[in-house]
Structure 1
Amino acid sequence: MDSDTNATARKLAQSLMQFNKTFMQFHRSELHQNFAGCKPSEVGVLFAIRHGVQGNGRPIKVSEISKHMHVTSPTITQLLNSLEANGLVERHTDPTDRRAVGIALTEHGEQLALKAENVLFETFQNLSEYLGDQQSNQLADLLIKAFQYFNERDTNGYFFPWKGEEA
């Protein structure tokens, strides 16, 4: 590998890490100000539940949330305990399989998830306006391509340790 390739790889890594850090700081600030102190991971669970039940009318299972968010089921269970204590989600036992528990948003949880989605969408709408259509589409295409790169090369679970996890 030549020095130009090393410099480019280093620049790419640094820019992605800086973007992630900056976005998470912004996201935490927005959530703290607007969403009763919910953590980004808790809002992510609300999104997963909201989109998991849309269209099919049934509560979502912990394992489905876990797969969607790429984290373990015990992690999701801890987040759900907090969300349930704050009245944002509720657990329902499946009448056909008493061992299965479905998770649904309460009315308050639905309102909060929708508000958070609107804030997130507005953030990306503003970014899109700042970059313009051409650069926004280019960025989206490159991010999709980068995800595909890592996903295709992840044969040992190094990048995505949750792949193949049965939760």
Structure 2
Amino acid sequence: MADFESPAAQKLLHAFRQFKKTGWHEKKIAGYNPSEFKVLVTIKHGTDEKSDLKVSEISQKLHVTPPTVTQIINLLEKDGLVERSVDPEDRRAVKIKLTSKGIEVTEQARSAFNETFAGLIDYLGEDESEQLAQLLSKVHQYFNQLIHP
């Protein structure tokens, strides 16, 4: 096993700390925080596949609790991005769908998100981008094995 005091370990730890400090995963995307963006995209994908989604379906897809999704839906509804409707097959269930404004905002946010990663690929180049993707996948596997042995 590698020594935690080794130069490689210190360099890796420093890189992880720097990466976390950038807060890139917390930055707004086209004016919406990452959790709102994820809900919008999930609804968009869900309605592309079938009819409108229930809050429980959105929460399952995002691996978060229904109350968390409900809070986000409330904010998005207030901004006119989503609308609720009663499920005709189950009057107790509420379906969520994007409004036309919601579709437009989701596409703008997705475009901004894609531009960020396209910029990273331009910055690193194709080969280093591919290497980074492979290494990050291995990092994910390593930490996943630690958490779920």
TM bracket, shorter-chain basis: 0.7 to 0.9
Q: CA deviation at 1:10?
A: 4.9
Match of 1:146 in 2: 139
Match of 2:120 in 1: 127
Rg: which structure is higher?
A: 2
- Map residues 33-72 of structure 1 onto 2, 5 A cutoff: 34-35=30-31, 38-54=32-48, 56-72=49-65
1:76-111 CA-partner distances (Å, limit 9, x unpaired) = 110110111111011122211222222111100010
Q: TM-score, normalised by structure 1?
A: 0.75
Percent of pairs identical after alignment?
45
Report the RMSD for the aligned CA atoms in angstroms: 2.4
In structure 2, distance between residues paired with 1:90 and 1:130: 39
Q: CA deviation at 1:63?
A: 2.3
Q: CA deviation at 1:123?
A: 0.7
1:91-147 CA-partner distances (Å, limit 9, x unpaired) = 122211222222111100010000000011011001001111111111112222332
Please, which moves more after superposition, 110-119 or 88-97? 88-97
Q: CA deviation at 1:45?
A: 1.1
CA distance 1:86–1:130, change in 2 (3 Å): same
Report the residue type matching 1:18 in the other structure: Q
1:30-54 CA-partner distances (Å, limit 9, x unpaired) = x3xx43xx32221221111112222
In structure 1, distance between residues paired with 2:86 and 2:8: 52
Unaligned runs of 5+ in 2: none
SS in 1 for 2:125: helix
In structure 2, distance between residues paired with 1:101 and 1:132: 46
Q: TM-score, normalised by structure 2?
A: 0.82
Match of 2:78 in 1: 85
Unaligned runs of 5+ in 1: 157-167
Q: CA deviation at 1:68?
A: 2.8
SS in 2 for 1:101: strand
CA distance 1:5–1:64, change in 2 (3 Å): farther
Report the residue type matching 1:59 in the other structure: D
In the comparison of the two structures, how many residue pairs are matched? 148
SS in 1 for 2:50: coil
SS in 2 for 1:99: strand
